[in-house]
Amino acid sequence: MKGFAFAGIYAGIKKNGIKDLGLILCEKPATAAAVFTRNQVRAAPVILGQQMIQKGVCQAVLANSGNANCFTGEQGIEDARRTIRIVADTFGIPRDLVMVSSTGVIGAPLPMEKFETGIPQLKTQIHTGTLADFAAAILTTDLSTKIVEMTADMDTDQGRRTITMKGVAKGSGMIRPDMATMLAYVITDAHISVSDLKQALTSACDKTFNRITVDGDTSTNDTLLCLAGGTSNAHITDDASRAVFQDLLEKVCLDLATQIVRDGEGATKLVQITVKGAATKQDAFKAAEAIAHSNLVKTAVYGEDPNWGRITAAAGRSGARVDPDRMDLFFDTVALVLQGKWQGKKAEKQAAEIMKASEISMTLDLNLGDHTDQFLFCDFSENYVKINADYRS
C-alpha cells in the first residue's frame, strides 16, 4: 500500500533483546481518528494523543513496548513530549503531527536514552522495514504478532475503486472492553473526511474491541488509531462508499480483536457468546458481558466442561432481566437447555465433545425479546496466573 513506511527495532527498553520500538510513517499527513481508554488513570502518551488527534491529522506514530509511561506524573508527560520532538527532528516533520504510544510495565520512568539512540536507528530502517517489524515491536506478553489486510471494492462516479486496509494490534492481558482495547492501528489508502473517519472508527470500535475480554481489567494505555493516507483514488464521499468503508473497517477491527482474544494470556480456547432474545439492548449486553467475564465460566471452558449452570448463573447475576424457566442454551447447534430444562445425558455428551475444539460458540436465548449482543472471550488457565504472578519479577 502506497504512502506508508514502517520500522521496528530493538532499542534496549526491554531486557530480553526482543523488538521494542516501532514507527509508522506516512509520506504525507494522513487523515486521522482515534479512540482511547476510558480508564481515569491514563498514560502520558494517551493524554497527549487525545490532544493531538483533535486536529484529525497525523504523519507519524512512534510506539514502544516494555514501558507504559503510565502513572509517571509530570515527568512522564515531559518524556513523551521529548520523544515526539526527537521523532519530528529526525524525520523532518512537524511536532504536532507525531503521536506516541507506550505499553508495558506501569509506573516506571521512560528510559529516555534508549529513545535517543533508538529513533535514529528507526530512520536507517524506514525504507526497508515492514508492517511485521512494527507489529513485533509493540508486543508485550503476546505470543504472536497481530496483522490483518483486507480490501473492498466500491462503485464511484469515476468507476470501480479498491480500498486497501491494513491493521496491526497488540494485547493479551489487561483486556476488558471499555473503549478501544489495547494498541491497535489501522491504515488505509482511502480518501475520507475526518468526521466520516471518526464516526466510522467509533462505531467499529464499539462493535469489535468493546466486545472482547481476556481478564476484565481495562488498560491505562488503550489506543485505536486509524490513518487514512488518501493515496488511492477511492474517495469516500457518499452513503454507498461510506457503507463500504464502514464494513471494511469493522471487519478489520473484528479480525484484530479476535486475534487479541485468541492470544489472551494463558488462553487455550476462543469462545463467542451470543445472547439473544433479551428484553432490551442493554440486557443483551449485560448478560453477554457477565458470562464473558465470569472466572467460573472461563475455568469451565478450560476444563472442557459445558457447565451450563455457571453460564445461566452468570446471566442471572448480570442485572439483565432473565427468567430461568425460559432460557435456552446452545453449544454450537446442540441444545443443552431448553425452556430452563436440561436436555439429558446425550445432549451433555455432545456439548462436551464441542468443548474440545479450540473455537467454541455458545448461544443463550433469554426468550424475553428481540435484542442480541455478542462477546468474544478466552478461557482461563493456570498459565494466566503464572504469567501475571511473575510479570514484574
For residue 181, the SS3 value is coil
Q: Pick the piece of the chain touching a copy of itself (CB under 8 A) from 11-19, 21-29, 160-168, 306-314.
A: 306-314
Nearer to a copy of itself, 170 or 191 (CB): 170
Q: Pick the piece of the chain touching a copy of itself (CB under 8 A) from 63-71, 128-136, 150-158, 237-245.
A: 63-71
293 binds a copy of itself (CB under 8 A): yes
Kindly report each contact of residues 352-358 with a partner whose C-beta sits within 8 Å and lies 24 or more positions away, as own/partner.
Answer: 352/304, 352/305, 352/306, 354/306, 355/301, 355/304, 355/305, 355/306, 355/331, 356/304, 357/269, 358/268, 358/269, 358/270
Nearer to a copy of itself, 157 or 390 (CB): 390
Amino acid code (one letter) for 89: D
303 binds a copy of itself (CB under 8 A): yes
User: Among 15, 160, 346, 392, which residue sits at the site for a copy of itself (rule: CB under 8 A)?
Assistant: 392
| Distance, CA of 163 to CA of 149 (rounded, Å) | 11
Q: How many CB atoms lie within 10 A of CB 107?
A: 12
380 binds a copy of itself (CB under 8 A): yes
170 is in an annotated binding site: yes
Q: What's the distance, CA 316 to chain centroid?
A: 28
- Is 11:118 a contact under the CB 8 Å cutoff? yes
Task: Scan for cell 519479577, then name that residue.
Answer: 393
Nearer to a copy of itself, 8 or 171 (CB): 171
User: Among 96, 178, 206, 247, which residue sits at the site for a copy of itself (rule: CB under 8 A)?
Assistant: 178
372 is in an annotated binding site: no
User: Among 255, 321, 338, 372, which residue sits at the site for a copy of itself (rule: CB under 8 A)?
Assistant: 321
| Distance, CA of 302 to CA of 296 (rounded, Å) | 10
294 is in an annotated binding site: no
Nearer to a copy of itself, 166 or 293 (CB): 293
55 is in an annotated binding site: no
For residue 50, the SS3 value is helix
349 binds a copy of itself (CB under 8 A): no
Residues that bind a copy of itself (rule: CB under 8 A) add up to a total of 62
β-strand pairing of 21-36 with 57-65: antiparallel
173 binds a copy of itself (CB under 8 A): yes
Nearer to a copy of itself, 167 or 171 (CB): 171
165 binds a copy of itself (CB under 8 A): no
R_g (Cα) of the chain, nearest Å? 22
315 binds a copy of itself (CB under 8 A): yes
65 binds a copy of itself (CB under 8 A): no
Q: Pick the piece of the chain touching a copy of itself (CB under 8 A) from 52-60, 203-211, 216-224, 250-258.
A: 216-224
Nearer to a copy of itself, 124 or 339 (CB): 339
| Distance, CA of 81 to CA of 89 (rounded, Å) | 12
| Span 103-142, contacts to a copy of itself by CB under 8 A | 105-107
* Counts of helices then strands in the chain (DSSP H, E): 11, 15
Residue 181 annotated as catalytic: yes
* Annotated catalytic residue within 145, 181, 220, 363: 181
Q: Pick the piece of the chain touching a copy of itself (CB under 8 A) from 7-15, 139-147, 194-202, 291-299.
A: 291-299
Phi-psi region of 266 (alpha: psi -120 to 50; beta: other; left: phi over 0): left
Closest CA to 123 of 226, 11, 33: 11
DSSP assignment string, 311-364: HHHHHHTSSS---GGG-EEEETTEEEEETTEE--HHHHHHHHHHTTSSEEEEEE
181 is in an annotated binding site: yes
269 is in an annotated binding site: no
Binding site for a copy of itself (CB under 8 A): 38-42, 68, 70-71, 73, 105-107, 173-174, 176, 178, 215-220, 293-296, 299-300, 302-303, 305, 307-310, 312-317, 321-325, 337, 340-342, 380-382, 384-386, 388-393
Q: Which residues are catalytic?
A: 181
Q: Binding site membership for substrate: which residues?
A: 140, 170, 181, 265, 388, 393
